Structure 1
Amino acid sequence: MAEETGISWCDRTWSPWIGCTKISPACDGCYAAHLMDTRLGRVEWGPHGERSRTSESYWRQLAKWDREAKAAGRTISVFPSLCDPWDNAADPGIRREWFAVMRETPHLLHLLLSKRPQNAVAMAEAAGGLPENAALGATCENQEVANRNVRHLLDAARDLRPAFSFVSAEPLLGPIDFTRIVYSMAGDFTVVRDALKDCDVERIDWVITGGETDQGGHKARPTNPQWFRDIRDACAAAGVPYHHKQNGEWVSVSEVEGPGEIHEFDDGRCVRRTGKRKAGRTINGVEHNGMPSSVPPTLASRCGREG
């Protein structure tokens, strides 16, 4: 668990505990579970896992990074990559301690990405309230999950007022239209929201996409490159920062030439299995490295913020 990270959308990774329970299709190829099972020899996944608190020396890294950020006059972003912040099985006492340390490290930006955004409000309030230097994120791998998780994310953002709200569509396993999120249904009446443009209420402030990678016996499922393009274009139209992390093991045949297994989607688009490194992280030859403003919402208009 090194200080630096190869994740393109954050500066550091750090986790208050280790472990989680798989709850969605995006969890099938969990890199964190594979890492713990193979390299670190600790199985912490599942409903009865220990969710072991990380060491005291490891926790002191946050204060060290905060001093570094202050001295450099910048913000360092930190992602808890080996746990879910709103995990039902995690010790609430560790979460309270974690949130207290967040408040003591104001030059760090904590990126709280979760597959359980429905738990955010109650668990944050039980931990003393969401720190101002925390952003709320939700993983959405297809439209069905997006309809559920975006609604919970935006409701939580309305109540908790995070630094910003974001979505990680990685691994992207199906098309997602963030401009048409099913927000509620009552009989034949359906409320659909544009989660990228609505300015009278909370909206998504940042979108990350990525393809899946192999993890042990789990082989990556291919992503249709048009799904990436559609999200990219919707973000551009709404002025929402867009970040494409990786294509994964598969990449559009128009993006990378050479040998490799071909998968054809129903729309006729084809991807080639080249491996993560060769597949890269470009879409139509372009990298997308959009990042949100990290200022608290009290200091900037949520609807006027530039990406």
Structure 2
Amino acid sequence: MANNSTIEWTEATWNPTTGCDRVSVGCDNCYALTLAKRLKAMGAEKYQNDGDPRTSGPGFGVTVHPQALSIPFSWRQPRLVSVNSMSDLFHARVPLDFVRQVFAVMAATPQHTYQVLTKRAARLQKVADQLDWPDNVWMGVSVENSEVLDRIDDLRHVPATVRFLSCEPLLGPLDDIDLDGIHWVIAGGESGSGHRPLDPDWVIHLRNACQEARVPFFFKQWGGRTPKAGGRTLEGLIWDEMPVRGLATA
């Protein structure tokens, strides 16, 4: 858990599960996989379970942490919380009962706003009606290129107050994106030694689509060798638009 997150669109992180497996090209340079390997070497207790080397890695095996469920109750001030920055809550190896426990904690701490992001949109859509959705839970899916636009269709079936897209790393144009039923879009480029370049036209088209659909748009970074190498300015402006917390949206 981090009280002060370095992620521009959130304030804290909470990891009741850790570990994951790569499922699409957006996972190729996964920062969490690299970080888990480092944490395992440092002896971090939560990162001692290894994943399949074909899709995961050292310290990155999917693991649930019941002891982490109490953490949000200890935060005195309301905060915006990214859930599972080091995992995917809707991974097939996370039991549905544990997902329900995570949702119960979020419901019991309405002073916080929780941002849950997944690439497992099909499972999300399948189990959505088996979960209780409090108003303080924002649900998102990752959309890195046009090959995974179907994740948005799955998300539209989810009864979350805020449904959002994380188009980061954005790896191709999203010319046919349909933002009906979507309440927020985040976009950004990849960072790290193997980062793939971000075409400005992809970002501008997505920003324009958001403006036409009246959907808040947040541009996180251009990316590069480091996350901040390319800055955050798009056509001379910083785009930090966000949904209004606590406001239910149809």
TM-score for both structures, normalised by structure 1 = 0.71
1:228 and 2:203 are equivalent in the alignment: yes
Give me the whole-angstrom Cα distance separating, in 1, the residues matched to 2:100 and 2:21: 20
1:53 is matched with 64
Q: What is residue 219 of structure 2 aligned with on the other side? A: 244
1:50 CA drift (Å): 4.5
Of 205, 209, 216, 2:187 maps to 209
CA contact (8 A) 1:133 1:296 kept: no
Which residue number in structure 2 is paired with residue 282 of structure 1?
233
- Check 1:97–1:275 CA distance in 2 against 1; reply closer, same or farther (3 A cut): closer
1:268-301 deviation per Cα after TM superposition (whole angstroms, max 9, x unaligned) = xxxxxx643331111123211010123353xx5x
Q: d(CA) in 2 for partners of 1:287 and 1:44?
A: 39
Larger fraction in strand = 1
**Count of equivalent residues:** 239
How much identity, in percent, do the aligned residues show? 32
Q: Does 1:145 align with 2:176?
A: no
Aligned to 2:77: 68
Residue 145 of structure 2 aligns with an amino acid whose one-letter code is: N
TM, length-normalised to structure 2:
0.87
**Unaligned residue ranges in structure 1 (runs of 5+):** 70-74, 182-194, 250-273, 303-307
Judging changes above 3 Å, is the alpha-carbon distance between structure 1 residues 135 and 275 closer, same or farther for their aligned structure 2 residues?
closer
The aligned residue for residue 171 of structure 2 is 173
Amino acid at match of 1:222: P
Query: In structure 2, what residue type is equivalent to 1:207?
Result: V
CA gap of 1:99–1:108, structure 2 versus 1, over 3 A, is: same
2:139 is the alignment partner of 1:136: yes
| CA distance in structure 1 between the partners assigned to 2:227 and 2:236 by the alignment | 16
- Amino acid of the structure 2 residue aligned with 1:53: V
- The offset of 1:227, in angstroms, is 0.6
Aligned AA (2:12): R
Instruction: Provide the residue aligned with 2:116 in structure 1.
Output: 112
Matched with 1:32 is 32
CA RMSD of aligned residues (A): 2.2
Which consecutive aligned stretches of 4+ in structure 1 deviate over 6 angstroms post-superposition? none
Provide the rounded CA distance (Å) in 2 between the counterparts of 1:106 and 1:88.
27
